[in-house]
Amino acid sequence: MDAVLSLNEATVAYHGDITILNRVSIAARKGCITGIIGPNGAGKSTVLKTLFGFLPLRHGSIVLGGQDISREPASRRAGRGMAYVPQSRSLFADLSVEDNLLLGCWPFRKDRARVRRRIDAVYSRFPILAEKRRDPVSSMSGGQQRFVEFGRALLIEPSVILLDEPTAMLAPRISKEIYALVRGLADEGMTVVLVDQNVRRCAEIADHLYILELGRNKAEGDRQAFEQGAGLRDMVATWMDYRID
């Protein structure tokens, strides 16, 4: 099966001549979880920011559903069904859950019926958000806030979702719920790109894994290759020593 979304030989810099990504290639397939792992500073978050259109390409291309979107702004990419849940908290803490969700409906704000329908769909997926709809986001736990961020991303009914360390800093019980949710999204047919600091969990859940190091592709393989191939496992074992898993 062909990739729904691909980053091809991407070279990216934040500013000046310091390139952060050097000809990085990633391909994500429909209904699959494509995992990206690698040490801190490897460029994982930069890959997602680039895919979503927050950073311009110096070289290479991005193809979504057969179309070259390399030069499209993030707003157009969202319009094409791409959603992004960034690594750092991205909610308006003083606004209510519902107001945060309403902001996520911006691309189709004029269609009031759709706005209501989509918000209700998010409430039925995450009942806790319905319960707390009038509460300020700042009053919620870290895990609950994550669900608001997922809910907001799902409002546009994305075909592709980019997730940057969705379980970072969360308790194991909530992390487990989030991994189940991510698996469920892929099973529904969504194309999931998952950046994860938890190498072991990512290797368990991802259908295909990319390993980045210092802004370059280091290795890749499907889940079986990761489980059976000692080479890939040994490569990450060294990093895992530094991790709290």
Residue numbers of the site for ligand ADP (CB under 6 A)?
Answer: 14, 20, 38, 40-46
The smaller minimum CB distance to ligand ADP, of residues 116 and 243, is found at 243
Three-class HEC string of the chain? CCEEEEEEEEEEECCCCCEEEEEEEEEEECCCEEEEECCCCCCHHHHHHHHHCCCCCCEEEEEECCEECCCCCHHHHHHCCEEEECCCCCCCCCCEHHHHHHHHCHHHCCCHHHHHHHHHHHHHHCHHHHHCCCCEHHHCCHHHHHHHHHHHHHCCCCCEEEEECCCCCCCHHHHHHHHHHHHHHHHCCCEEEEECCCHHHHHHHCCEEEEEECCEEEEEEEHHHHHHCHHHHHHHHHHHCCCCC
Write down the least CB distance from residue 9 to ligand ADP, Å. Answer: 17
Instruction: State the binding string over 158-177 for Mg ion (x if CB under 5 A, else -).
Output: --------------------
14 contact, one of Mg ion, ligand ADP, none, CB 5-8 Å limit per kind: ligand ADP
Write down the least CB distance from residue 88 to Mg ion, Å. Answer: 9
101 contact, one of ligand ADP, Mg ion, none, CB 5-8 Å limit per kind: none
> Residues touching Mg ion: how many (CB under 5 A)?
2
List beta partners, residue 64: 5, 67
The smaller minimum CB distance to ligand ADP, of residues 29 and 44, is found at 44
Write down the least CB distance from residue 95 to Mg ion, Å. Answer: 26
46 contact, one of Mg ion, ligand ADP, none, CB 5-8 Å limit per kind: ligand ADP
Told to check if 25 binds Mg ion by CB under 5 A, we report no
The smaller minimum CB distance to ligand ADP, of residues 132 and 201, is found at 201
Q: Which of 11, 45, 90, 96 binds Mg ion (CB under 5 A)?
A: 45
166 contact, one of ligand ADP, Mg ion, none, CB 5-8 Å limit per kind: none
Contact residues: Mg ion, CB under 5 A? 44-45
